[in-house]
Chains A and B, each alone.
Chain A
Amino acid sequence: MNPDDMIARLSGPLSLRRRIANVVALLGGLGGALFVGLLWATEPALPGRTHLAFGALVALGLAWAGYGAWALSRRTPLFALDRVIAAWLAVAATGLLTAGTATVAVAKGTWTGMAGVTVAATLTVLAVAVLLRARADRAALLRRKRELGG
C-alpha cells in the first residue's frame, strides 16, 4: 500500500461534509427534541395517541442527537475550522430554538413555557461561549502557523 492508497482509505474521517453532517444531526436532534418536548408539555388534555406521537418525536430527536454526539466524540473529530462552523451552527440553532420557545411561552403563558425559554436561552449563551472559544483556538493555531513560516 502506498501513501495515496492510505489517504484514499481515510477519506471518510477526513470528509468535512461528514463532520458537519454529524454536527447538524446533534443540533437538529437536540433542538427538535426540546421544542417538541415543550409543545408536548404545554398542551393540555391530549388524547392518548397524540401523547404517543409526541413521545415518538422526542425519542427520534434524542436518538439523532445521541448519534451526532457519539460520532463527533468517537468517529469524526472536529478540527479548528470545523469547530468554528459547528459553533456558528449551534448559535443559529439555539437562537431559533429560543425564538420558538419564546413564541410558545407567550402564547401559552405557563410556567412550563417560561422554563423552556430559560433552557433555550441558556443553551444559546453556551453556544456563544463555545463560538468565542473556537475562534480563539483557531486564531492561536493560525498565529503558530505564521510563526513556523506556514
Chain B
Amino acid sequence: MTDELLVVRCRLGEREAFAELVRAWHDPVWNYVRRMLGPSRADDVAQEVWVAVVRGLPRLKEPGRFAPWLFTIARRAVADRLREEYARPEIPLEEERASADPADPVDALVESADLLAGLAGLPVREREVLVLFYLQDLSLEDCAQVCAVPVGTVKSRLSRARRMLREQLTEEGYR
C-alpha cells in the first residue's frame, strides 16, 4: 500500500490506517532522531514527532509527499532540542559544492555500523544531511525541502560531511 493511500485513509479518519502508517515509518523516524540526538532522547522526541504528525495530517496538502513532510517535522523536533548547538554560524564553502558521488569510497562505508557510531562526532548540520540522504534514502530535493535550504547547500553540506567523516574515520584507524 502506498504512503499516499495510507495518508488519504488517515485523513478520512481510519484509525487502523494510522496504525499502519506508524508501523511503516516508526523505525526511520526513530533512527533519524536517535542518530541526531542519541538513544536517551529518541523515544520522547519520536513521540513528539508522531503527535505533530497526527495534528498536522488533516492539513497535509500533498499526501504523495508524505516522507519529506514527515522528516521536516522530525527535523523541527530535533532542532528544538538542539537549538543551542544550532546557533553555530555556518561557513559557506562554495568550493565544496559537488554532487554526491556514488563512487566515493566513503559512500560504501556509510552503511557500516562502525561508521554509524562515527556520525555522533559530526556537527549537527552535516550529520543531518548525511542521515537524511544516505540512511533515509531521501533525494537531494527532498533533503533540501526538509532542511529548508537550497539543493546546492545540501550538496555542499554532504560534501563537507563526507570529508569530515573520512577524516574522523582515518583518525580512528579505518582505511
Contacts and interface: CB of A to CB of B under 8 A. Distances in A.
12 contacts: A3-B27, A6-B46, A6-B50, A7-B19, A10-B54, A13-B51, A14-B18, A75-B55, A77-B54, A79-B11, A79-B12, A145-B8
Q: By DSSP majority rule, is chain B's interface helix, strand, loop, or mixed?
A: helix
A81 B43 contact: no
Contacts, number: 79
A79 B56 CA distance: 10
A82 B13 CA distance: 7
Contacts of B42: 1
B59 to A, nearest CB: 8
Interface in A66-87: 74-82
A77 B58 contact: yes
A85 to B, nearest CB: 9
Interface of A: 1-4, 6-7, 9-10, 13-14, 16, 74-82, 138, 141-142, 144-145, 148-150
Contacts of A145: 5, 8-9, 12
B81 interface: no
A81 to B, nearest CB: 4
Interface residues of B, number: 31
B19 A80 contact: no
B26 interface: yes
Contacts of B58: 77-80
Interface in B1-47: 1-2, 4-5, 8-13, 15, 18-19, 22-23, 26-27, 30, 42-43, 46-47
Contacts of A75: 55
B26 A148 contact: no
Contacts of A14: 15, 18, 54
B10 A13 contact: no
A13 B15 CA distance: 11
A10 B8 contact: no
Contact of A148 (B4, B27, B43, B50): B4
